[in-house]
Structure 1
Amino acid sequence: ARPHGIFVTDMGTIYIADRENHRVMKWTSGASVGIRVAGDGTAGNSLTQVMSPTDVIVDENELIYISEVGNSRITRWTSGSFTGVCIVACSATVGNKPTQLREPHSLAFDSFGSLYVSNWANSRVQQFQILNYPVSFNQPKFLSNTTWSKCGITFVDKKTLASKVRGIFIDLNDTLYVADYMKNRILIWSNQSVHQPRQLNASLYEFTPLFVTLNGDIYFENGEKTGEIRKFTSSSTESKFITRLSTNCFGLFVDIRNTLYCSRHENHLVVKVLLTSDNHTEINIAGAGKAGSGSYELDQPMGIFVDFNYHLYVADGLNNRIQLFRRGDLNGRTVAGKNIPEGLTLRYPSDVTGDGNGFLYIADNQQHRIVRVGNSEFECIAGCSMRSGSSLNQLYHPHTVYFDSVGNLYVGDEWNFRVQIFR
């Protein structure tokens, strides 16, 4: 009722701000029936609702931006999500301060990613720089001189875990997830609590990675069926089938478009699957399907990381390097290892992640250390003796790296059967 702003994509998909029905609707080209992509159809200020939307725009990443005149805020929604994220005027108060809006109407982006809002009741147009893409993991920004303690703190060890620590994940709420495959369970510690963890029971592949999406879905590989990816929804104790891949995944990632990436270690490939499609065809995006060291080849790829531009970083195990594959490019570029940068050598890197400044953090598995790379430099930040061991300043085949919300570094210390925190 009383539709307001509309947006049409290059593919002819139409988005409409359906103001009095408190929702945003989407019609694909030629469709006679639309689908609701934002709002639950009721007025309110929760993040499941949009109140009197007046405009909608969609960026190249299919992120949906909505101006809500009823809530005097701007929210952003990912495709397929039931909740939005407030990105402008999030104090729940109306006003004329630079951080406030009063009955915003129209939206527009410029070529640099700045968002312009026509703030109707304040008789002004405001510009906002939108940089925080909605990812489910932490990417803190650090000062150039940031350091971490050389001695880690053991969060959990073999007193609790029966398995070598490989699959771990930390979400935006600092909830820690650990795959304990020998006992067929995923252990979950909320908000860094050291108390008894929540437990989800499932058969786990011994090298299964874990990935948790914004809505709390936990993705893992089934230990009983090669390549079968399953997930627990945020409130369920029973996992559900998602897709079946050709071989095991040693790295797993799900981007904001609900595309699943799998590092197929045995086939020297990284593939992706569009989970929004009925046809879960594997699409090769890195590697030639045979071991090799060329720019287009991989040799036992391990952990993977996808940035907000959909560029892919691969821990290229036996090639002792980190490869960057830009979106749509099958030729990679070495960004760490093989004397890049400044003579850096890696030995079987098993994981890579990035911070908010674009620096990379690498689990240098067989040199028992964590390395940071950026600005054409590298430094060791944990396990810097490069000798395996179980002391607090040592690691023993570190497998996985993640950050919490305040920048503490979590390491899946594989052969020590523990998770170490470096503050």
Structure 2
Amino acid sequence: MKKLNSSSSGVVIAGNNGNGNAANQFNGPMGIYIDVNNGSIIYVVDSSNHRVQRWVIGGTTGTTVAGGNSNGAALNQLNSPRAVISDSNGNLYISDMNNHRIVMWSSGATIGILIAGTSGVQGSTATTLKYPNGITFDANKNLYVADSNNFRIQKYIVCSSMLRVRRNELLFDNSE
């Protein structure tokens, strides 16, 4: 990844050591998130390595903070993740595309918590997802999910005290 400086030339801030699965390599980086509480920390979704890495900008290696245990549907695994964001408590929310789910990983956790969707099961009901991609929070801490192959955006109200989704709303879809 490169960061633009005032001269508009790219500066490598993570990776650049070829394709691979070592701590200093990526295999299909798909998403990035800069920690809002610490602007020198960047999270990288390394999709084909089925992991999310935490990098100090300018560092030489990353630390796997989610996944990295080969691809699979267990809660300690990811399968082609696409996006990562963080809440104000430092919990990471990951769109785990090929597992059709959103998982939350607390700092230091070795397994994630299912937030939305059903692990490894795609669907088009209000409680299932089909290849979720982009995710974001609004000012009220609602979670929005781009449910790619259902052609819709879903809104989830995340209850941090229970670490579960209370309800969801369909915001947009392409049905007539």
Q: TM-score, normalised by structure 1?
A: 0.31
- C-alpha displacement at 1:22, in angstroms? 0.3
Secondary structure of 2:103's partner?
A: strand
Deviation digits for residues 8-28 of structure 1 (CA, Å, limit 9, x no counterpart): 013221001110000000102
> Are 1:72 and 2:100 an aligned pair?
yes
CA distance in 2, matches of 1:92, 1:35: 26
**Distance verdict in 2 for CA 1:91–1:19, change over 3 Å:** closer
CA distance in 2, matches of 1:120, 1:16: 21
- C-alpha displacement at 1:49, in angstroms? 0.3
Q: Which residue identity is paired with 1:5?
A: G
Q: What RMSD over aligned residues (CA atoms) do the two structures have, in Å?
A: 1.5
Partner of 2:17: none
Partner of 2:30: 4
**Distance verdict in 2 for CA 1:51–1:91, change over 3 Å:** closer
Partner of 1:88: 116
CA distance in 2, matches of 1:74, 1:86: 6
Contact 2:52 2:68 in 1 (8 A): no
- C-alpha displacement at 1:32, in angstroms? 1.6
- C-alpha displacement at 1:41, in angstroms? 3.5
Partner of residue 111 from structure 1, selected from 117, 136, 139: 139
CA distance in 2, matches of 1:93, 1:48: 17
Superposition map of 1:239-318 within 5 A: none
> Are 1:100 and 2:117 an aligned pair?
no
Contact 2:98 2:120 in 1 (8 A): no
* Higher percent of residues as strand: 2
Gap regions ≥5 residues in structure 2: 1-26, 164-176
Q: Which residue identity is paired with 1:42?
A: S
- C-alpha displacement at 1:91, in angstroms? 5.8
Secondary structure of 1:70's partner?
A: helix
CA distance in 2, matches of 1:53, 1:8: 17
Gap regions ≥5 residues in structure 1: 136-423
Partner of residue 52 from structure 1, selected from 65, 80, 88: 80
CA distance in 2, matches of 1:134, 1:55: 23
Structure 1: which 4+ aligned runs deviate by more than 6 Å? Answer: none
Partner of 2:63: 35
CA distance in 1, matches of 2:81, 2:161: 22
CA distance in 1, matches of 2:68, 2:162: 20
> Whose Rg is larger?
1
CA distance in 1, matches of 2:141, 2:114: 17
- C-alpha displacement at 1:90, in angstroms? 2.7
Partner of residue 47 from structure 2, selected from 19, 27, 46: 19
CA distance in 2, matches of 1:112, 1:40: 31
- C-alpha displacement at 1:120, in angstroms? 0.6
Secondary structure of 1:44's partner?
A: coil
Contact 2:144 2:154 in 1 (8 A): yes
CA distance in 1, matches of 2:162, 2:84: 18
Partner of 2:168: none
Partner of 2:21: none
- C-alpha displacement at 1:5, in angstroms? 1.1
CA distance in 2, matches of 1:8, 1:76: 17
Secondary structure of 2:52's partner?
A: strand
Aligned residues: percent identity?
36
Q: Which residue identity is paired with 2:56?
A: T
- C-alpha displacement at 1:59, in angstroms? 1.4
CA distance in 2, matches of 1:9, 1:74: 19
- C-alpha displacement at 1:92, in angstroms? 4.2
Partner of 1:314: none
Q: TM-score, normalised by structure 2?
A: 0.73
CA distance in 1, matches of 2:108, 2:81: 18
Secondary structure of 1:130's partner?
A: strand
Partner of 1:311: none
